Amino acid sequence: MPETSVLSHIDHSLDGSLERLFGLLRIPSVSTDPAYAAECQKAAEWLVADLQGLGFDASVRPTAGRPMVVGHYNDAGGANTPRVLFYGHYDVQPPDPLEKWSSGPFEPQRVKRADGSEQIVGRGAADDKGQLMTFIEAVRAWIAVHGRLPVNVTILLEGEEETGSPSLLPFLQANGDELKADVALVCDTNMWDSETPAISTRLRGLMMDEVTITGPSIDLHSGLYGGAARNPIRVLTKILASLHDDDGRVTVPGFYEGVDELPAAIAEQWSALSFSAEDFLGEVGLKIPAGESGRNVLEQLWSRPTCDVNGIWGGYTAAGSKTVIPSKASAKVSFRLVSKQDPLKIRDAFRDFVRAQLPADCTAEFIGYGASRAIEISTDNPYLTKAAAALKQEFGRAPVMMGCGGSIPIVGAFRQMLGMDSLLIGFGQSSDRIHSPNEKYDLSSFHHGMRSWARILGALRA
């Protein structure tokens, strides 16, 4: 375990750590919008410069999309010294709707709450810039105090996680030998609560698709064609509404193939957790769980598959009115997957589902945005055991072995392509409003995160 001096250095250098984090948060590295491509490049270069300053052999690696950042630290010493691969992502979600932000999304703020606690507000504060900087700052503290790290470290930071990581697999295929390590460390998950750490051992998979339905060849005047001409918005919304039955189950044929029931022991463990569905939903202004009937909220989030419409558009949407029947209507749809579900089979089944309901004079086109399988991490993993002990020392209580409703495609890729498991240790909160206006990261999460990674690095050396 690290000497007290490493933790003390982190405590006394908090303002400097925040200054560096704020510098990264000010870069609007939105990966999905080509207009921000230069900003993604800028963020990658910022991170490379920071890693080089710590003694890493670091560089920006071009891809067909947004660049990767790769850095190696090889001076830990000792033939049996483990190597860890730390993964994070520097890209962020679009900040829209801008009018909902209390301050500029790329003008990070340190905000004090009524109870005296503080939070960092800005796009990327929790997902994932604040999280990845907890690790880099822990590395900085070890080097500042001891002159070197306790383990050898490779850092991989990507710029397309928020768009399904389309360049990730080709990059791993081309650079797999360089990136192999004993274990991967992923910091893109949450704690159980503000005082209880967690290691996520289950991740849902993800499949994202976009559908565009075309009816008439041009937009039409609704007074001249209304009633006679097919309206693509009506066609699309009818199909989308049919994706779920009255019990909240997805109606796409074959969707539940490969979905296992939760083992009794895991179900019992989750039931023993102090969790209030009412409080969880109340934080976002809701009250009533809307998933599958007969499934509690933790099951719905961690072990059940879902289908959601993420965006829908067509016709005239500007101010005022326009009596138009649009030529096209589009929607973005995502599926969170579990167990043995095959994301590519789900994609094919969804497209067949749409086509089967199309009127004869309409057509459908699709654009895929990424697909990844669900994954589970064994709690018997020896690196997980060491990390859990380190977290217990930091927080004074054992971490919860929890599921994660989100998807982190690289975890499956690390296992399948590089032959290593991952430790998913994050310091976010369910209240962090990731992907939403006023995204935040608790200052305590940032501080504990740095200290925790410092402890974990020391524990992995032992």
Instruction: Identify which of 370, 400, 32, 353 has the alpha carbon closest to the alpha carbon of residue 205.
Output: 370
Question: How many Å apart are CA 441 and CA 371, to the nearest integer?
Answer: 28
Tokens of 150: 């306790």
Give domain status of residue 265, yes or no: no
Same domain, 210 and 194: no
Which residues, other chains included, contact 28 with Cβ-Cβ below 8 Å and sequence gap of 6+?
A: 36, 39, 92, 95, 105, 106, 123
| Same domain, residue pair 20 and 142 | yes
Question: pLDDT (tens digit, 9 = 90+) per residue, 289-308?
Answer: 999 999 999 999 999 999 99
**218 and 77 share a domain?**
no
Q: What angle do CA 440, 443, 445 make, to 5 degrees?
A: 90
Kindly report the backbone phi and psi dihedral angles of residue 443, in degrees, each rounded to the nearest multiple of 5, phi listed first.
Answer: -60, -35
Judgement on whether residues 345 and 223 belong to the same structural domain of the protein? yes
Residues 300 and 432 in one domain: no
Instruction: Say if 167 falls within a structural domain.
Output: yes
99 and 213 fall within a common domain: no
Domain boundary among 372, 402, 421: 372
Domain containing 403: what range? 4-203+375-461
Whether residue 419 is contained in a domain is answered as yes
Tell me the three state secondary structure of residue 372. Answer: strand
Average pLDDT, the chain: 94
Closest alpha carbon to 131 in 179, 180, 92, 183? 92
Assigned domain for 267 exists: no
Instruction: With respect to residue 58, please indicate whether it lies within any of the assigned structural domains.
Output: yes
Average pLDDT over residues 203-207: 90
Residue 424 and residue 352 in one domain: no
Mean pLDDT of 158-186: 95
Please report whether residue 43 resides in a domain.
yes
Question: In the prediction, which pLDDT does 76 show?
Answer: 83
164 shares a domain with 44? yes
pLDDT at 423: 96
Report how many domains make up the chain.
2
Whether 233 contacts 407, CB under 8 Å = no
Q: Is 206 helix (H, G, I), strand (E, B) or coil?
A: strand
Q: Which of 346, 372, 398 is at the close of a domain?
A: 372
What would the two tokens of residue 436 be? 């939403």
330-344 pLDDT, tens per residue?
999 999 999 899 999
406 and 387 together in one domain: yes
Residue 387 lies in a domain: yes
Are 152 and 256 within one domain? no
Please report, as a single letter, which amino acid is at residue 279: D
Q: What is the pLDDT of residue 195?
A: 93
**pLDDT at residue 2 greater than cutoff 60:** no
Q: What confidence score (pLDDT) does residue 389 get?
A: 96
Share of the chain above pLDDT 70, in %: 99
The whole-model pTM stands at 0.76
Percent composition of the chain: helix, strand, coil (DSSP 3-state, to 5) = 35, 25, 40
- Residue 332 lies inside a defined structural domain of this protein: yes
Given a cut of 50, whether residue 1 has pLDDT beyond it is: no
Tell me the per-residue pLDDT of 354-410, one tens digit each, with 9 for 90 and over: 999 999 999 999 999 978 888 888 778 899 999 999 999 999 998 988 888 877 778
Q: Where are the alpha helices (DSSP H) in 151-261?
A: 168-179, 222-225, 232-241
What CATH number is associated with residue 355?
3.30.70.360
Residues 238 and 322 grouped into a single domain: yes
Show which of 348, 372, 396 is a domain's final residue. 372
* 136 and 175 both lie in a single domain: yes
Within 8 A by CB and 6+ apart from 4, the residues are none
CA 322/CA 396 separation, integer angstroms: 61
Residue 58, beta-bridge partner list? 71
* CATH number for position 440: 3.40.630.10
